[in-house]
Amino acid sequence: MSISDDMKKITKSEKETFKLGQKLARRLAGGEVIALIGDLGAGKTIFIKGLAKGLGIKQMITSPSFVIMKVYKVKSREIKYLCHIDAYRLTNGQELIDIGINDWLGGKGIVTVIEWADRVKKILPKKRIKIKIDFGKKENERRIKIKHYDANLRI
Amino acid sequence: MLILGIETSCDETAAAVLEIIPTSSRTHDEIGGNSKLEILSNVVSSQIKIHQKYKGIVPEVAARAHFEKILPVLLASLATPARFAGASARRECSAKASLASPNETFARRRDSLDKDQGKTPAVKKMKEIDLIAVTYGPGLVTSLLVGLEAAKTLSYIFKKPLIPVNHLEGHIYANWLTTVALPNIFPSVCLIVSGGHTELLLMKDYGRYQRLGGTRDDAAGECFDKVAKLLNLGYPGGPAIEDCASKFKIPSGSDPTGRRQNSKFKINLPRPMIWSHDFDFSFSGLKTAVLYKTRTSKINKGFVKALACETQESIVDVLITKTIKAVKRFNAKSVILSGGVAANQRLRDQMKKEAEKIGKIFLVPSKNFCTDNAAMIAMAGYFNYCLLNTKQKNKLLYNWQKIEVDSNVNLR
């Protein structure tokens, strides 16, 4: 399994979605903004759990729907923090700015993941990695599209 | 002792005044022993109506609403003439009735302050307060800030000791609002279930906690909310699903164990992690399972009722199984249920049944104290205050300089 810059991937189980997240984590260097798009139950949380594991985070990743934003420390040379944001209950990006998201977004050594990113598109930087999770034909199947902002760069 | 509690961690702006009169000298072992408790006022102003529009809580809206309401709510909690009018007049103050429009009240307060500073009833009452307790986390940062800043200001101006309270601890102490002195209940297993939390704790003594487990993804209340959204039942999801589930007629002659069978629709939702060897929960998968059901079946009213009922059964089953397992493992003497989801009647009934089956004391606050309120914060503040020594108590006077909001704080 390799991840190229504009990739389509079909996962057949939660486990595979988790592993894809884990795989992506190893290609990150810090400063990335990952926009995650998908319906309720698509597997966004699972993907982020995989990503967090890939970054070496041992803490439990729980849904930030209630507090909007959770920050986890990462022990690696380049990446210092994983910032997990959930825009599920938001209506526009201004609300994220109001809770201080600009301190984190795209910062050096910070990986930011935003669930329900389609709701706050306007405030996201153009340089972002877009990940769209759709339901597949079968019950546990998911179609995952990963689009990197820089077409020349391989993740 | 008069305690003012302030709570703004999520979508309720709340203030309350408690009076606790200890009748015996307090030692560490008998905190609250024989104390007399009066809830002089308990004002809760909810933003549910505002948030219903967005099917959830919107932080900016929440903060703005808190800001508009914090002064009227504080005034209402202080203005109750209960303390001066004698015991007969002491009763709970209903917030909805007594709240004037925020701007009007604010203007009136400003005028009255200008005219005769320090002579308004609220200011007089404020001078009598002995302790201010305020929620500092966990919750929404912007919401928490409003209550905390208000409390700090009051502490500074009136030179009152200020004690920070963990919101989760507040939920636990809601159980002490009916009677201050609870007999011999420790160690106790506490289940806190709300829209933002699902935590299982072992409470060894007043102020001593051990975290046993919690949710790995969504909170139980969040699951209620999201399933309600999938089924188009409205917000908040807990009461909506409970209401819908209660309309589901249990086929007669069903399962002898008393479990409601969805025989007609043959719905069997998973019970996530029910037999796992830890004390963690997971509700994200349950939501996905409901989603699949709505995709594969024809949706009509009966089906939605059956699905709502089965969702509730699943959540309740998992919560109870894990709690009872913890009670047995740690040989606890009691079970404490609290948090917004504890208002769910099915959960209350079943948990009581299961706890009493194995001979344990079962505690749950009355429904109005399950959801966020400031009386519970004042109560937790009181108990934490009692645990301090004189030197620590004196330091509380300078807490207004130090306390900061912590949105992800854990209970230890």
What's A8-37 look like in SS3? EEEECCHHHHHHHHHHHHCCCCCCCEEEEE
8 A C-beta contact, residue B9 and residue B167: yes
- Compute the distance between CA of residue B397 and CA of residue B394 in angstroms, rounded to an integer: 6
Of B27 and B248, more confident: B248
CB atoms within 10 A of CB A154: 12
**B138–A67 C-beta distance less than 8 A:** yes
- In 3D space, the residue among B129, B9, B11 whose CA is nearest the CA of residue B62 turns out to be B11
For A68, the enclosing helix (H) or strand (E) is none
pLDDT tens column, B183-207 = 788 999 999 999 888 999 999 999 8
Every domain range in chain B assigned CATH 3.30.420.40:
2-178+370-401, 188-364
The count of C-alpha atoms lying within 13 angstroms of the C-alpha of B31, restricted to the half-sphere facing its C-beta, is 15
Tokens 């601890």, residue located = B169
Minimal Cα distance from A72: which residue of B?
B408
Of B101 and B380, more confident: B380
Q: Is A68 on the interface with B (CB under 8 A)?
A: yes
Q: Is B60 on the interface with A (CB under 8 A)?
A: yes
User: Under the phi-then-psi rule, with left for phi > 0, alpha for psi from -120 to 50, and beta for the rest, what region is A147?
Assistant: beta
Angle at A26 between CA A24 and CA A32, to 5 degrees: 65
The domains of chain A, with CATH numbers, are: 20-147 (3.40.50.300)
B47: confidence class by pLDDT, cuts 50, 70, 90: low
Q: What is the pLDDT of residue B98?
A: 40
Q: What is the pLDDT of residue B96?
A: 37
A-chain residues near B230 (CB < 8 A)? 40
For residue A4 the two structure tokens come to 């190229």
Q: Which of B60, B216, B222 sits opposite A94 (nearest CB)?
A: B60
Arithmetic mean of pLDDT, A102-130 = 89
Q: Place domain B2-178+370-401 in its CATH homologous superfamily.
A: ATPase, nucleotide binding domain (3.30.420.40)
- In 3D space, the residue among B283, B320, B290, B292 whose CA is nearest the CA of residue B306 turns out to be B290
Q: Which of B54, B63, B142 sits opposite A89 (nearest CB)?
A: B54
pLDDT tens column, B64-109 = 778 888 888 898 888 764 443 333 333 333 333 344 444 555 555 5
Q: Is B394 on the interface with A (CB under 8 A)?
A: no
Q: Is A91 on the interface with B (CB under 8 A)?
A: yes
Q: What is the pLDDT of residue A149?
A: 72
Tokens 């810059």, residue located = A5
**B195–A67 C-beta distance less than 8 A:** no
Q: What is the pLDDT of residue B256?
A: 42
Chain B nearest-CA distance from A7, in A, is: 25
The count of C-alpha atoms lying within 13 angstroms of the C-alpha of B273, restricted to the half-sphere facing its C-beta, is 21
Minimal Cα distance from B221: which residue of A?
A66
Q: Is A9 on the interface with B (CB under 8 A)?
A: no
A-chain residues near B216 (CB < 8 A)? 60, 62
For residue B12 the two structure tokens come to 């309720």
- Compute the distance between CA of residue B123 and CA of residue B253 in angstroms, rounded to an integer: 63
Min mean pLDDT across A130-139, B17-26, B199-208, B257-266 is at: B257-266
- Compute the distance between CA of residue B281 and CA of residue B198 in angstroms, rounded to an integer: 8
pLDDT tens column, B123-154 = 888 899 999 999 998 888 888 989 999 999 99
A106: confidence class by pLDDT, cuts 50, 70, 90: confident
Residues 6+ apart with CB under 8 A from A111: A28, A30, A31, A32, A34, A51, A55, A74, A79, A81, A82, A83
Alpha helix segments (H runs only) across B116-140: 121-128
Alpha helix segments (H runs only) across B130-246: 141-158, 167-173, 220-230, 237-246
Residues in chain A, how many? 155
Q: Place domain B188-364 in its CATH homologous superfamily.
A: ATPase, nucleotide binding domain (3.30.420.40)
On whether the pTM is more than 0.90, the answer is: no
